[in-house]
Amino acid sequence: MTRLSVNINKFATLRNARGGDNPNLVQTAKDCERFGAQGITVHPRPDERHITTKDVYDLKEMVTTEFNIEGYPDGRFMKIVEEVKPDQVTLVPDPPSALTSNAGWDTIKNEHMLREVVSQIKSYGVRTSIFIEPINDMMDGAKKCETDRIELYTERYASAYKNDPLNAVESYKIASGHAKKIGLELNAGHDLDLTNLKFLTQQIPYLKEVSIGHALVCDALYFGLENTIQMYLRELNNI
């Protein structure tokens, strides 16, 4: 079964827009878990425009499912990882000013750096995942970096899904099959929602985890958080 990790960045964006502590991030994470989420994801960017460094440490004390921290491996990020030791670290190639993740790693060009970072993170007893595009050569590069998993960057799939689902998923099926063949486990994330999630998991049934934030938070405004998480879980279970 593919697990659902809720990215709570946008809840933090809402809190920060007004200041104070509403919504409370710790309580939000507790509620996500209580409603069925199997993981919590955060992306603590340097400008702290949503998740703050303090949030990461606060959440580490209470997350009882799987805690996934994603981000660019600069010194600040690596210090957080070393001290918090989450269940999983997802490496993304975002520059500090990026609005959101908008590309995967070039694992060939960045092999030396990624290999060192992956080795360091794994020395803490933490699972690693590298955010990449559905390209076989990038999968091979990730394998050389000795990462445990890769996370498929699914923006291109989501954009093309409405017009041609089979064509939209084809490169993801090919690359995922290759990744599985060479011994990489797979996650997926970016622009997945209630319209395109089930088809992706039907076509790639061995996905370990999807990380979903923006769409899930938007849906929660209409359906409520508990109902929304249950709706996403039903899609993942192909009900």
Catalytic residue positions, numbered: 43, 70, 190
Distance CA 104, CA 175 (A): 14
C-alpha of 48 from chain center = 18
86 prior amide bond cis, ω within 30: no
- Residue listed under structure tokens 């440490």: 57
Q: What share of the chain is helix, strand, coil (3-state, %, to 5)?
A: 45, 15, 35
Q: How far is CA 166 from CA 161, 197, 203, in A?
A: 8, 13, 9
